[in-house]
Amino acid sequence: MTDDKQKVRALGLCSGGLDSMLAALVLRDQGIEVCWVCFETPFFSAAKAVRAAEALDIPLTVQNITGRYVPMLKNPPCGYGQHMNPCMDCHALMFNIAGGIMKEKGYDFLFSGEVVGQRPMSQTKPSLRYVEKHSGFDGYILRPLSALLLPETEPEKAGLVDRNGLLGLSGRSRKPQMEMARRFGVSDYPSPAGGCLLTDKGFSQRLRDLFAHQETCTENDVLLLKYGRHFRLSPTAKLVVGRTRQDNQDILDHSTGLNATVLKIKQFPGPTGLLIGEPGEGALLLAAGICLGYSKAPDDKPAAVNVAAGKQQQTVTMMAVPPDKVRHLLI
């Protein structure tokens, strides 16, 4: 396997966590050339993977897969976890895309740092088997940390990987991985906490609302879910109100390409509001009042709000609507 003419090459899915790092190191220890791919969407980033790749000097490809991910997310065959996380179908899609890269670039097989039993829903033996079958690359996904507990893969059968050099880890304990990290000289790695927004209750509620009220959505529609307070004013109108100055800027930055109206209070410090959709006059006035309710405008007299929709601008004058009066509209 160390002969350059017959160099075995493996492409791994990398989250940037310790298990991803160890899986790559176990294979590299056998003389296998390892590379990583990390997929990004508005729900998870490649930041940890980038740091891990730099730390271990492993080539990393980062690819945004939002265009393929969102259609799957709207109707995952296996359904969701506790919130809006379609873990099994997510992994199957990622391996499918990685498999395309494997074929295109001439890698011999795929791998990941998954450990049997570490996650009760997505890393059981049946779950791992489901992912492999639905990835389109059955037999070519190796999980080095738990390989001895799983059926032999095609690269093992072909002698590309020494099965005796793989492991049989299982369960949620991190002690074996931490010991392996010490042996490999890896001291800088992130905690095992998940970084997927789809497991967050509040974000998932906003995402459900978006899918329920919009047949199509852009990446900016999804990215906006991270910022501000969200109010469902009507079936065709949603208001996003900034919490901080940075929130205000992030909301404006992600308004590009949306059917949206920007609301800014004229004479008093306050939030930026983004009214998305087809609001109608009543929803527009309510949105202005909600923005004033979170501002420094006085409660006992009307105040002016600038309303800009594209090149069209107008000023509306409204009384502030106290936050406790519209709490039922919060998403």
User: Which CATH number goes with the domain that contains 155?
Assistant: 3.40.50.620
Q: Cα 112–159–114 angle (5° rounding)?
A: 15
Full residue range of the structural domain in which residue 37 is found: 4-196
Residue 23, class by beta-carbon neighbours within 10 Å (0-12 exposed, 13-18 middle, 19+ buried)? buried
- 221 and 128 assigned to the same domain: no
What pLDDT is attached to residue 193? 66
- 48 and 138 assigned to the same domain: yes
What pLDDT is attached to residue 318? 94
- 54 and 82 assigned to the same domain: yes
- 85 and 219 assigned to the same domain: no
End-to-end CA, the chain: 56
Domain boundary among 175, 196, 217: 196
- 314 and 243 assigned to the same domain: yes
- 68 and 87 assigned to the same domain: yes
What pLDDT is attached to residue 192? 75
Question: Residue 151 has what DSSP assignment?
Answer: P
- 191 and 225 assigned to the same domain: no
What pLDDT is attached to residue 6? 78
What pLDDT is attached to residue 194? 67
- 248 and 283 assigned to the same domain: yes
Show pLDDT as tens, one digit a residue, over the chain (331 residues).
Answer: 444 557 999 999 999 999 999 999 999 999 999 999 999 999 999 999 999 999 999 999 999 999 999 999 999 999 999 999 999 999 999 999 999 999 999 999 999 999 999 887 778 999 999 999 999 999 999 999 999 999 999 999 999 999 999 999 999 898 999 999 999 999 988 887 668 999 999 999 999 999 999 999 999 999 999 999 999 999 999 999 999 999 999 999 999 999 999 999 999 999 999 999 999 999 999 999 999 999 999 999 999 999 999 889 999 999 999 999 999 999 9
Domain boundary among 166, 196, 226: 196
70, 217 Cβ separation under 8 angstroms: yes
Count of structural domains, the chain: 2
- 192 and 231 assigned to the same domain: no
What is the distance between the alpha carbons of residues 110 and 278, in angstroms, rounded to a whole number?
A: 46
What is the distance between the alpha carbons of residues 10 and 23, in angstroms, rounded to a whole number?
A: 11
What pLDDT is attached to residue 1? 44
Whole-prediction pTM value?
0.90
What pLDDT is attached to residue 2? 45
- 191 and 221 assigned to the same domain: no
Domain boundary among 165, 196, 227: 196
